[in-house]
Structure 1
Amino acid sequence: MPSIPYLIPRPGGQALPLVLSPVRAGFPSPADDYLDDNINLHEYLVEDPPATFIVRVRGDSMIGAGIANGDLLVVDKGLAPVDGDIVVAVIDGEFTVKRLYRRAGACVLAPENPAYNPISLQPGQELLVWGVVTGAVKKFRR
């Protein structure tokens, strides 16, 4: 089975300034007046460090959930997936990220892009859920 590299920064990484007031997506507001404290993204995104890993997304099957090609997903292996969670799963040895649904005793992995069909497990197929996606990191400029 393929392994996923652990790319998450170690605790004690660089803290970044946190603006107290949320940024509006409409009317502009001067943010400098609202500087609050610092935020450590590791502490913010990771609840259980030993059970957490980060994986880079390849493809566009989850764009409706705001997950795009190249995004980094924070995945917690310690969480039990519930109906509707976005999960990193392995089907017959192939990794995928999809929304997990349980329907009539069967598991369905659903994309969030109408160009793709849901994956309904067939008899004999193996599904292994590696973890529940708890966050995402995007980079707009490279």
Structure 2
Amino acid sequence: MKVIPIYIEAGITGFESPAAEYTELGLSLYELIIKHPNATFIGLANGDSMNEVGIFDEDLLIVDRSEATKHGDVIVANFNGNFVCKIIDKKRKELLSASADYKAVPISEADVFQIEGVVICSVRLHRKSKRLTTCLH
């Protein structure tokens, strides 16, 4: 895939043709986003608890299992048999939503808890793909 470096404003009233005087960069989206292909998977976000960090319902989550988890990272975890996308508070041992509408969830010794990976990127699809929907549902 070739990248055409064009800066686009949301309030476009008119613009030059993208083909006029551009420079092609040999860069694929895959190479740009995925550092560790063998340790990366894609998930589908569900719900509104992470909206304030830019993760919305049905966004694609690019999750890297090989990244070291740091305090404050957005993660995907298995929490008591459910896959969740939350912010990890390593100091308080809590899972945090990005919305004030949801309370912090403490992680206790009795819980089944395993971090599956760090969310390194989310992708919003403005037009849903039938093929993607079939693969992820």
Band of TM-score, shorter chain: 0.7 to 0.9
- Whether 1:127 aligns to 2:127 is no
**Contact 1:89–1:96 (CA<8 Å) still a contact in 2?**
yes
**Contact 1:88–1:97 (CA<8 Å) still a contact in 2?**
yes
Listed as ranges, the matches of 1:3-22 within 5 Å are 15=1, 17-22=2-7
CA gap of 1:26–1:50, structure 2 versus 1, over 3 A, is same
Give 1:23 shift.
2.5
Q: What is the RMSD of the two structures over their aligned residues, measured on CA atoms?
A: 1.9
**Contact 1:98–1:110 (CA<8 Å) still a contact in 2?**
yes
TM-score, normalization by structure 1: 0.78
- Whether 1:35 aligns to 2:13 is no
Which residue pairs with 1:99 in the alignment? 87
Which residue pairs with 1:71 in the alignment? 59
Give 1:125 shift.
1.3
Q: Sequence identity of aligned pairs in percent?
A: 28
Which ranges in structure 2 are unaligned for 5 or more consecutive residues? Answer: 129-137
CA gap of 1:25–1:34, structure 2 versus 1, over 3 A, is farther
CA gap of 1:34–1:129, structure 2 versus 1, over 3 A, is farther
**Contact 1:20–1:34 (CA<8 Å) still a contact in 2?**
no
TM-score, normalization by structure 2: 0.80
Which ranges in structure 1 are unaligned for 5 or more consecutive residues? Answer: 1-14
CA gap of 1:108–1:27, structure 2 versus 1, over 3 A, is same
